[in-house]
A and B are shown apart, each in its own frame.
Chain A
Amino acid sequence: LTPGVLYPLLKGLESKGLVQTSWEEVRADESEEGEGRRRKWYKLSAKGRKRLEQRIAAHRAYRAIIDAFIGGTKGETAR
């Protein structure tokens, strides 16, 4: 995942309300006055968590199909 793909995706998540963001001022050692670096934090929102949950369910169903397709039996399926 390159940064050029990642940032638009994060922006999309943000505009759909799936993540909450906040800026933080990072003052590493004694840099010039006022010029602290800023860092953006992303946190999954309640809505985002719900969506993740749905995706996981869909993913499980998908995995189940593939597993059924490649025909592993209980004992021999790779973990």
Chain B
Amino acid sequence: VSTLRIQHESREPVPGAPTDPVSSWLDVLEKLLDLPVDESRSIREELASHLRERVRDLTLTGMNEGEAVRAAISELGDAAELARRFHRARSPSRRRHVMNIILAATASAALVGGGVAVRSAGQSAEKERARLTQENDALKQLTGAVLAQDDAAANQALLKDLAPRAVESAKGKNEITRGAILSALAGALAAPQPEFVVNCEQTDTWQQLFDSIAKGAGKGSFTNFNSLDPLGIVSTQQVGLKVGGMKLEDAIRFLNENFPDIPGNGRIDYRVTDSMIEFASEEYFDRRERTTRTYSIDPLVRSLLDKEAAPPQTLEGVRHSHVSAEKAVGEDISQLIMEMVETNMWMANGGTLASIRRFGGKLFITAPLRHFERIEWVLREAGAMEPVATADGAPRNVVIAVDPETNGLVVVRPNGDTLRCSTIELPDSNSTSATLDSAVWRRGVPVLSSVPTISRFFTDKAGMESRSHLPEPSIPSDGLVR
């Protein structure tokens, strides 16, 4: 054992040899890391240098060397855990870049929802009332903040625009299904962007073109040229084009349609945030905005089993026919979806963007957000299925509907598999929306949800006022931040 240690020592000299705990700790870590030699060597070297510095600092504060070494090592924590962290840091997370948006949305939903998500069964009625009052106050403030900041007509239009379908589906029912809300919000996501009139002069390069389109809309631009590269768009390449008096949407369509270099399967797309327009390929945004939702195929399985001529006589037989019915239904419905919606994006068809998997009576569908509207249409037509859950945080969502006529609020909260609605009376309003039917149906519109709609909504509307007094983060001025 001792010869082995001496070998290591000579490879990585550390003060305090030959029985130096730093070195043996690093040996252990290096083993746990189990990475290619050059990588683990570089990690080892960095940590060794850190430990050396740290031990020196600690001894300067009066510790003896043994104490200092122990303290420095224990600051790094458990070696196995540290190795795991290095491993995690190496594999890039696909969802990382959408995280902020989702985070913002779920955080705000969680704030408003408060105790909703973790409601215990035995909660007393009094507590419930107190919670509702609290929620009520918060909601009032929120909607006040949202609605007060623009002129009434614009608010009205915006609210009306946000979820006509949720309202439509709530008509005559006492509940809004999650599917209706999700599809309404997906619809809102697809709603036209705010209109800017773009005027840009004769420009030289793609970079300048995108910059001036954004400038015409009064915003900065951020162009992901990496993603545009397959479309033959290079930042320094000459374009020589003039776009005048067009809306942003039209300008982009004009670009997509008038550049023969752009292959048929690629398109330029954009997203608008409060300060920027982001340009990238459509595929890039699709990849970024992928989400997973699950759907129950039980209704279809049951109806298939009902149609069976001779019901099985044994328990085993029942189980067997149920399993094979699930399999058959799952395969059929997957085929149907993959044929009806964007055939080429599915992994089963050689695409990379979307996939369908069945597990038991559930279908897991991963696809770009914008395609779910159509996927859900197919599912509904096939057997009235509603999404059970979505991976982007919707199960804990809270949707708030506002009735502008009465200033009453409608809160749509998760409750088991469906969303039940309840109206909330505002203390300063003497009119109570008596039933859900009237409240939601009359004019109620979701304002807040955990789907990314929220960020656009707030960014485009409410965000504007708040932004003016947010401290500007400081970045070295090299022209990157406009």
Interface residues of A (CB under 8 A from B): 2-5, 7-9, 11-12, 15-16, 35, 37-40, 49-50, 52-72, 74, 77, 79
Bound form: Cα–Cα A77–B471 in Å: 11
Tell yes or no: B205 within 8 A of A by CB.
no
- Residue pairs across A and B with Cβ atoms less than 8 A apart, 21 shown, are A4-B76, A4-B82, A7-B47, A8-B85, A8-B86, A11-B89, A12-B88, A12-B90, A37-B49, A49-B478, A58-B101, A61-B273, A61-B274, A64-B462, A65-B107, A65-B108, A65-B455, A65-B458, A66-B107, A67-B145, A69-B142
Bound form: Cα–Cα A67–B141 in Å: 11
Partner of B469, one of A16, A61, A79: A79
Contact between A69 and B111 (Cβ–Cβ < 8 Å)?
A: yes
Contact between A65 and B463 (Cβ–Cβ < 8 Å)?
A: yes
Partner of B480, one of A50, A57, A60: A50
Return chain B residues, CB-CB under 8 Å to A16: 92
B residues 23-70 near A (Cβ < 8 Å) are: 43, 45-47, 49-50, 52-54
Partner of B89, one of A12, A57, A71, A74: A12
Minimum CB–CB distance for A6 against chain B, Å: 9
Bound form: Cα–Cα A1–B285 in Å: 33
Given contacts A12-B89, A60-B274, A65-B105, 6 further A-B contacts (CB under 8 A): A2-B77, A7-B82, A8-B88, A53-B222, A57-B276, A65-B104
Return chain B residues, CB-CB under 8 Å to A69: 108, 111-112, 138, 141-142, 145
Return chain B residues, CB-CB under 8 Å to A63: 466, 470
**Which interface residue of A12, A49, A77 has the most chain B CB atoms within 10 A?**
A12
Return chain A residues, CB-CB under 8 Å to B97: 54
Return chain B residues, CB-CB under 8 Å to A66: 107-108, 111
Contact between A15 and B469 (Cβ–Cβ < 8 Å)?
A: no
Return chain B residues, CB-CB under 8 Å to A35: 13
Per DSSP, are chain B's interface residues mostly helix, strand or loop, or mixed? helix
Residue of B nearest to A64 (CB): B463
Contact between B275 and A57 (Cβ–Cβ < 8 Å)?
A: yes
Bound form: Cα–Cα A49–B473 in Å: 13
B residues 213-272 near A (Cβ < 8 Å) are: 222
Contact flag A70-B100 (CB < 8 Å), given A12-B90, A57-B275, A77-B466? no
Bound form: Cα–Cα A40–B85 in Å: 20
Bound form: Cα–Cα A69–B465 in Å: 12
Return chain B residues, CB-CB under 8 Å to A12: 88-90, 92
Bound form: Cα–Cα A64–B105 in Å: 11
Contact flag A4-B90 (CB < 8 Å), given A60-B274, A69-B141? no
Residue of B nearest to A34 (CB): B13
Bound form: Cα–Cα A43–B480 in Å: 16
Minimum CB–CB distance for B11 against chain A, Å: 15
Return chain A residues, CB-CB under 8 Å to B466: 63-64, 67-68, 72, 77
Give per-residue flags for B187-212: 1 if the beta carbon is below 8 A from chain A beta carbons, else 0.
00000000000000000000000000
Contact between B475 and A52 (Cβ–Cβ < 8 Å)?
A: yes
Contact between A11 and B90 (Cβ–Cβ < 8 Å)?
A: yes
Bound form: Cα–Cα A9–B86 in Å: 8
Bound form: Cα–Cα A79–B471 in Å: 7
Contact between B85 and A5 (Cβ–Cβ < 8 Å)?
A: yes
